[in-house]
Amino acid sequence: MHSEQSYLELLDTLASKAQLDPIRKDRTGTGTYSIFGAQSRHRDVHESFPLLTTKKVHWKSVVHELIWFLSGSTNTKYLRDNGVKIWNEWANEYGELGPVYGHQWRAFGARKIRSIAEMTPYGEMYSKREYTPGVDQIAQVIQQIKDNPLSRRHIVSAWNPGEVDQMALPPCHTLFQFYVRPEEGKIDLQLYQRSADIFLGVPFNIASYSLLLMMVAQVTGYEAGDFVHTFGDVHLYSNHTEQAKLQLSREPRKLPTVRLSPGIDNINDFTAGDVILLDYDPHPRIKAKVAV
């Protein structure tokens, strides 16, 4: 089965609910059609990368956002400097978002030790320089994979209950876990996503975590295997139904491949230039409004 098909089946399920079910109220006031508890699997991402072909996905944003997460930054300056606007709606006037993904991945539990008055013109920055040391979950999980590949504790959590109220947007993709298959030389990744915008957000999430899997695979000496996507509330916004129908009318095309610069063995050394997308031939982009 084409790797994209599992996504399209879920999109079709939600588009069908739009014909039958009442709109479910949500935080944004837009309204959704949703289900709770679903899963899709994208196999062997090293061989065929699951970047959707039934509509064009903005690959540049996917790559730069992941590099930004891995840097530990929570200020949008890096994204804006690289022409990526996907976080602009949630940032304050200084580009700050609070202790979101990058902070939790690289400094979970760190405590602030500097005042806003000491910060840069971009506002308060959540970085190790301004915090007591927290847990660098990315470094920790990579070391665990190397030292004890069969462990069931290869987990990174972005959900920090003590800091959720300080975040501009609490993490939608909340926890991910690696699974090593030493006999095959492969490593898999499963993501639990508490809230998932099937039309706009999920295509980015699939690509982002598949790319993360490839990076971690390279620096730990494995080949990227499967990306498993597990959902809590997965939903189609009521103002995306026509766009979903258009996408579902299109036939998937051959998936692209992604290659990473081979000499990199440290997760911190990847740049956008080290990520090469090959043979991506999607259908045209489909515009839709983001619910904020």
Q: Catalytic residue, from 172, 264, 267, 286: name it.
A: 172
Task: Read off φ and ψ for residue 151, nearest 5 degrees.
Answer: -60, 150
Q: Answer for the pair 135, 107: CB distance below 8 angstroms, yes or no.
A: yes
pLDDT tens for the chain, 292 residues: list them. Answer: 678 999 999 999 999 988 888 899 999 999 999 999 999 999 999 999 999 999 999 999 999 999 999 999 999 999 999 999 999 999 998 899 999 999 999 999 987 655 444 555 555 554 444 567 799 999 999 999 999 999 999 999 999 999 999 999 999 999 999 999 999 999 999 999 999 999 999 999 999 999 999 999 999 999 999 999 999 999 999 999 999 999 999 999 999 999 999 999 999 999 999 999 999 999 999 999 988 7
Q: Is 61 among the residues known to form the active site?
A: no
Domain locations along the chain: 5-278
Tell me if the pTM is above 0.85: yes
Q: Which CATH class is domain 5-278?
A: alpha beta
